Amino acid sequence: MNIKRKTTIKDIANVLNISTAAVSKALNDDSRISEKTKQAVRQVAKNLNYQPNHLASALRKGKSNLVGVIVPRTNSHFFSSVIQNIEEVLNKEGYNIVMTQSNESYKKECDNIDTLLFTQVDGIIASMANETIDLTYYEKIKSKGIPLILFDRGENDLNVDYIGINDYDSSQMIVEHLVKQGCKRIAHIGGYRHTRIFNNRIRGYIDALKKHNLPLDNELLIESSLTIEDGRKKMTQLLSLETRPDAVYIASDYAALGALQILNEQNIKIPQDMALVGFGNEPFTSMVTPSITSVNQHSEEIGKQAALKFLDYTKEPVIKQSLNKIILEAELVVRDSSNIEKVE
């Protein structure tokens, strides 16, 4: 198979018998080039299907008008909503985004960062993978003077701008809700403790149990990857206990969906026999039976604030910028899976 060679400005210059410098200036609408030459260059570029080398341009200008975005996955309403709102804000200011996903893999995340740095992005907005413990690659971004804004999942040790919700208070709010529904043995299927947001949710859960003088059994606190399949496995594990919980708070709607499947398959009445609360307010939570109580994380606002914070760095010298931690108050959306009072 013959691979067609990419057209360069030298090819355009040869057709018009002018210098490559003149072609470059014409393509960049330089005032020193006549309108007649500009039109001729544009026409030949179109005929030859010339595509500008944005990387080379970025290297020359020291600015690419590209912002890298790293998310753990794109098949989540929360992350897709954040991405959409980042893009809407940045597009209005002449920026485009380069979107990557880590699939919760530390290695993939490192590869994404290398790719974005090679692409000469003007900034990076990221939410960390579940596997990420070593922050070396994020430190590499900082060392190059590139603005780094973290959202949802971010580590305090990096000392960078962060936008998210109050995960500790959110857990307290969930436990408070379940206690008001009469639940006394509340389990928590959480994420891994090394991730700050999940650690905060676990701390909030533990402290809320203490506040209400409820038992904290190690068998009721389970760390997981929070996938649908993991939700099924961990709920099966809880149901095998000699004394089952009467409520389960799960730190992800996807894992909550898997848990709900198991409860329905085993004909366990929800919420009478077991109440269920998820996290993230994914669209499916209102569509399944029973509908799942969940936490609204305000993804639209998180995306907008992350983009606006990056734009702050383009308006003032970086040295003048002060680090911001924007913490939004989450909202508990009560649905059938935990509304015991409504059933009774």
Numbered ranges of CATH 3.40.50.2300 in the chain: 65-164+299-327, 167-297+332-343
Q: Flag whether the pTM goes above 0.85.
A: no
As a whole-number percent, the residues of the chain with pLDDT over 90 amount to 69
pLDDT in tens, 238-286: 999 999 999 999 999 999 999 999 999 999 999 999 999 999 999 999 9
pLDDT in tens, 166-204: 999 999 999 999 999 999 999 999 999 988 899 999 999
Q: Domain 167-297+332-343, CATH 3.40.640.10 — does that match?
A: no
**Unique residue bearing structure tokens 């000699």:** 242
Region 296-312: mean pLDDT is 95
Residue 7: C-alpha distances to residues 47, 59, 109 (Å): 10, 19, 33
What's the pLDDT at 247?
Answer: 97
Region 212-221: mean pLDDT is 93
pLDDT range class, residue 317, cuts 50, 70, 90: low
Q: Is it the case that residue 12 has pLDDT exceeding 90?
A: no
Region 202-228: mean pLDDT is 95
Query: Taking the alpha carbons of 164, 166, 171, 176 in that order, is the dihedral positive or negative?
Result: negative
**Unique residue bearing structure tokens 């709920």:** 235
Phi, psi of 236, rounded to the nearest 5 degrees = -60, -40
Phi, psi of 47, rounded to the nearest 5 degrees = -60, -35
Contact criterion met (CB below 8 Å) for 239 and 197? no
Q: Is it the case that residue 344 has pLDDT exceeding 80?
A: no
pLDDT range class, residue 338, cuts 50, 70, 90: very high
Give 124's Cβ-side CA count (13 Å radius): 32
Region 212-225: mean pLDDT is 94
Q: Which fold has domain 65-164+299-327?
A: Rossmann fold (3.40.50)
Query: Taking the alpha carbons of 115, 119, 120, 125 in that order, is the dihedral positive or negative?
Result: negative
pLDDT in tens, 40-99: 888 888 888 887 766 566 556 668 889 999 999 998 999 999 999 999 999 999 999 999
